[in-house]
Amino acid sequence: MQKIQMTTPLVEMDGDEMTRIIWKMIKDNLLSPYIDLKTEYYDLGLKKRDETDDQITIDAAEATKKYGVAVKCATITPNAARVEEYHLKKMYKSPNGTIRALLDGTVFRAPILIKGIEPYVRSWKKPITMARHAYGDVYKNSEIRVPGAGTAEIIFTAEDGTVTRKTIHKFTGPGIIQGIHNTDKSIEGFARSCFEYALSVKQDLWFSCKDTISKTYDTHFKEIFQKLYDEEYKEKFEAVGTTYFYTLIDDAVARVMRSEGGFVWALKNYDGDVMSDMMASSFGSLALMTSILVSPAGYFEYEAAHGTVQRHYYKYLKGEKTSTNSVATIFAWTGALRKRGELDGNQALQDFADKLDEATLETIESGKMTGDLALITTIPEVQKLGTEEFIFAIRETLDKKMNA
């Protein structure tokens, strides 16, 4: 069999611990045998980040701007314990934070649905993808503990000296106040990423906030989304048969619970924080959640939503048997390969990504899975496989498909 050729390289960001082990297994067993894999490799493993004073992370983000599509392994975000463990020069920032800041992107979290791993909400038949705005609001607030009676005001001083002020509250006793903000630039970037992503997966986009109560602040979010949709995206959405709509957050929550899924749900920073943890757990397993960073300029970076699975890695180092789930990492690769294929008009690469996805799901549906899924599946006869055994089982299913 001739290997599938690639015209443009993928930006490949390697990572840490157990996911780094899985990364290599996936490449060796599921990708390289079929694809003449072309990647520009960046080692974001902690050792290399330390050696390069984290320049490698910046280079990887810049490469993503150059090529448009990246795939990333989970990485350690150092804390004090990691600084000691790896003898780091300093406590580096989260690589995801650094990359997100450079690409100005929004993170989309999408669950992988598998027959036999059932969502807790029975009506959900298709994935619901969450998009959380990652700037401002209560996460960049200014707060005061009010000691006693007095007047709280909100004041804006323009560069030309013009002052706008409003009374927040006339306190007759102690209380609290909080000031929050956002910027048109950030909201527009968020909205654009959401439209780009929804278009790329050909799904409807929902946006919800509380404009009935927050008549200036939340209403402004709603207006920015609507304007961008009307001016730049409406026709593109209609061309693929999808739509955008706004609905009040409480209505959206009720609708989501009754829905079949199959759409992208965009939320403000706090709403997204709270709802995304609920959605992730209601779909079954963290190891079945993918994460995609989309920049307003249309750059895509794919990864698993989980971390480096440190506990399993220490078992692995001791030579003990592990059963780490590689599904989200495999889907990060297939997501990136499919996107690369779309951009390059490379149908063979897109077909391969589809086949590898199917092979992964079919392997699990046939009862072969890792320990985390064996615990929650409704499939009666289950074979619990080790980390590598599971990847070999997928390889077997994939081989049959490729030779069919």
Binding footprint of Mg ion on the chain (CB under 5 A): 273
Among 307, 354, 374, 401, binds ligand NAP (CB under 6 A): 307
Q: How far is CA 149 from CA 143, 144, 168, 189, 299, in A?
A: 17, 13, 13, 41, 52
Select 288 or 349, whichever has its Cβ closest to ligand NAP.
Answer: 288
Give the one residue of 308, 346, 360, 363 binding ligand NAP; rule: CB under 6 A. Answer: 308
21-to-108, 281, 309, 357 alpha-carbon distances in Å = 25, 26, 11, 20
Q: Could you say which of 25, 205, 309, 379 contacts ligand NAP (CB under 6 A)?
A: 309
H or E segment to which residue 10 belongs: strand 10-14
**Closest CA relative to residue 272, chosen from 106, 100, 75:** 106
Residue placing its CB nearer to Mg ion in the complex, 273 or 342: 273
The token pair that represents 389 in the structure block = 């055994």
Query: Residues 198-237: x/- map of binding to ligand NAP (CB under 6 A)?
Result: ----------------------------------------
Task: For the chain, count helices (H), then strands (E).
Answer: 15, 16
Amino acid type, 361: L
Nearest to 222 by CA among 254, 245, 195, 198: 245
Question: Contact between 129 and ligand NAP (CB under 6 A)?
Answer: no
Name the minimum Å distance from CB 84 to ligand NAP: 13
Site for ligand NAP in 361-400 (CB under 6 A): 372
Among 24, 126, 169, 311, binds ligand NAP (CB under 6 A): 311
Spatial distance between the Cα atoms of 240 and 213, rounded to a whole number of angstroms: 34
Sketch the per residue contact string, 323 through 362, with ligand NAP: x for CB under 6 A, - otherwise: -xx-------------------------------------
381 and 368 Cβ atoms separated by less than 8 Å:
no
Task: State the Cα–Cα distance between residues 260 and 113, nearest whole angstrom.
Answer: 12
Of 126, 130, 111, 131, nearest to 261 by C-alpha is: 126
Q: For ligand NAP, which residue of 49, 100, 268, 306 counts as binding (CB under 6 A)?
A: 306
Can you tell me the distance from the alpha carbon of 350 to that of 342, in angstroms, rounded to the nearest whole number? Answer: 7
The two tokens of residue 29 are 């067993």
CA–CA distance, 32 with 27 (Å, rounded to integer): 6
Is 287 a binder of ligand NAP (CB under 6 A)? yes
**Minimum Å distance from CB 89 to ligand NAP?**
17
Among 39, 57, 64, 75, binds ligand NAP (CB under 6 A): 75
Q: Where are the beta strands (DSSP E) in 83-203?
A: 106-111, 128-132, 142-146, 150-157, 163-171, 175-179
Asked whether position 76 contacts ligand NAP by CB under 6 A, the answer is yes
Which one of 57, 96, 193, 397 is in contact with ligand NAP (CB under 6 A)?
A: 96
- Which residues in 15-74 contact ligand NAP (CB under 6 A)? 74
* Among ligand NAP, Mg ion, none, partner that 306 touches (CB below 5 to 8 angstroms by kind): ligand NAP
Residue 308 binds which of Mg ion, ligand NAP, none (CB < 5-8 A, kind-dependent): ligand NAP
Site size toward ligand NAP, by CB under 6 A: 17
Shortest distance, CB of residue 354 to ligand NAP, whole angstroms? Answer: 22
Quick one: 131 or 382, whose CB is closer to Mg ion? 131
Q: How far is the CB of 332 from ligand NAP (least distance, A)?
A: 10
Which residue number is nearest to ligand NAP in terms of Cβ?
307
Give the 3-state secondary structure of 254-312: HHHHHCCCCEEEEECHHHHHHHHHHHHHHCCCHHHEEEEEECCCCCEEEEECCCCCHHH
By a kind-dependent CB cut-off of 5 to 8 A, residue 287 interacts, out of ligand NAP, Mg ion, none, with ligand NAP
Contact positions vs ligand NAP (CB under 6 A): 74-77, 96, 286-287, 303, 306-311, 324-325, 372
